[in-house]
Amino acid sequence: MLHAHAEPTFRNIGLVGTGAMGRGIAQIAAQAGCTVHLVDAQPAAVEAARTALRETWDKLVAKGRMTAEAATACSERLVPASGVEALAGCELVIEAIVERLDAKQSLFAQLEGIVGPDAVLATNTSSLSVTAIGSRLQRPQRLAGFHFFNPVPLMKVVEVVRGLKTDAAVTERLAAFAREMGHTPVQAQDTPGFIVNHAGRGYITEALRIAGECVADFATIDRILKDQMGFRLGPFELLDLTALDVSQPVMESIYHQYYEEPRFRPSVIAAQRLAGGVVGRKVGEGFYRYVDGQAQVPP
């Protein structure tokens, strides 16, 4: 059974970017008792997130994992906001927008003029430098990385990333908040890909190289890596879940940040698929085809 935490570290939070990650973070924050103000550049995305989360909570009620009252309370804690100006009273703002340095820098510069002096700012970036994202802030010490994994409610680890100027008190508060949401915080230094994507990109790019050299097909590589190495998802299943429009820029960013280190070199196979819009599960086709949510190996 899910319980709201008595006194969350942050009661009133803002979430900018309500796509796959933003809605997952909103879910666990609302379940922990926070009021979550939702903002997205596309107003329809906020509504889509609220609808999806209501459905998720209804399913949890049906499975007996949540009471109907708790589900209603969680839904009521989601507050749609038409723009970042509405986040003035938030004690924490988490950003889960597009993975582009300029977009994240300008968002935080704008937020700095809106939120109170003690508000904490957090980025869910997978691969960009937290230090660089904070470099346009007057008070970069209040910005930290807060890197969740997809799907957020199930993936219990969150990397709490300390940029060069981040205050230790800020990362400590975020770590405490992660625990209140039922997650396990792991402290990471601000290096390209932090811990998981530093290790994980090698796994993905090597699998793409194996496929590119025609050693085996995607499904075989997935199966053998799961069976023999104990991974929960194969590399191509993971790419389909994340979607190439999200993961290819991450691969490129880590490669360039490590000065074109060969082991991180992105793959033309992934680049071509991205160019063709065959990006993953969310569009019904990636390395696999998805029929009624079930992965099928293309002929």
Which string of b and e fits 99-110 if b means at least 16 CB within 10 Å?
Answer: beeeebbebbee
- Cα–Cα distance measured from residue 36 to residue 32, given in angstroms and rounded to the nearest whole number: 11
> Measured from the CB atom, is 45 or 109 closer to ligand NAI?
45
What count of other Cβ atoms lies within 10 Å of the Cβ of residue 91? 19
Stretch that binds ligand NAI, among 14-22, 138-146, 181-189, 225-233 (CB under 6 A): 14-22
From the candidates 124, 197, 247, 253, give the one annotated as an active-site residue: 197
Q: Tell me which of 2, 4, 12, 19 binds ligand NAI, using CB under 6 A.
A: 19
For CA atoms 246, 247, 252, 258, the dihedral sign is positive
CB of 127 to ligand NAI, least distance (A): 7
Show the DSSP H helices in 123-195 as ranges: 130-133, 168-180
Q: Count interface residues toward ligand NAI (CB under 6 A).
A: 27
Q: How far is CA 104 from the centre of its chain?
A: 14
Tell me whether the omega of the peptide bond preceding residue 43 falls within 30 degrees of 0, making it cis: no
CA distance linking residue 108 with residue 124, whole number of Å: 12
Q: Which run of H or of E encompasses 23? A: helix 20-31
**Among this protein's residues, is 197 annotated catalytic?**
yes
Interacting positions 45-84 with ligand NAI (CB under 6 A)? 45
Which residue, among 213, 205, 214, has the nearest Cα to 270 in the 3D structure? 205
Of residues 226-255, those binding ligand NAI (CB under 6 A): 242, 246, 250
Q: Does 27 participate in binding ligand NAI (rule CB under 6 A)?
A: no
Nearest CB to ligand NAI, comparing residues 60 and 96: 96
Among 86, 88, 103, 186, binds ligand NAI (CB under 6 A): 103
Q: Which of 128, 117, 165 is nearest to 249 (CA)?
A: 128
| End-to-end CA gap in the chain | 43
Helices 196-212 and 268-275: crossing angle, nearest 10°? Answer: 90
Active-site residue flag, 124: no
Instruction: Name the minimum Å distance from CB 272 to ligand NAI.
Output: 20
Locate 295 and state its tokens. Answer: 């992965």
Choice between 217 and 252, CB closer to ligand NAI: 252
For residue 282, what is the DSSP state? G
Question: Nearer Cβ to ligand NAI, position 66 or 253?
Answer: 253
Among 17, 145, 234, 266, binds ligand NAI (CB under 6 A): 17
Single residue of 42, 51, 82, 296 touching ligand NAI by CB under 6 A: 42
The binder of ligand NAI chosen from 27, 31, 124, 205 (CB under 6 A): 124
Minimum Å gap between C-beta 291 and ligand NAI is 22
Interaction site with ligand NAI (CB under 6 A)? 16-22, 40-42, 45, 96-99, 103, 107, 124-126, 147-150, 242, 246, 250
Active site members: 126, 147, 159, 197
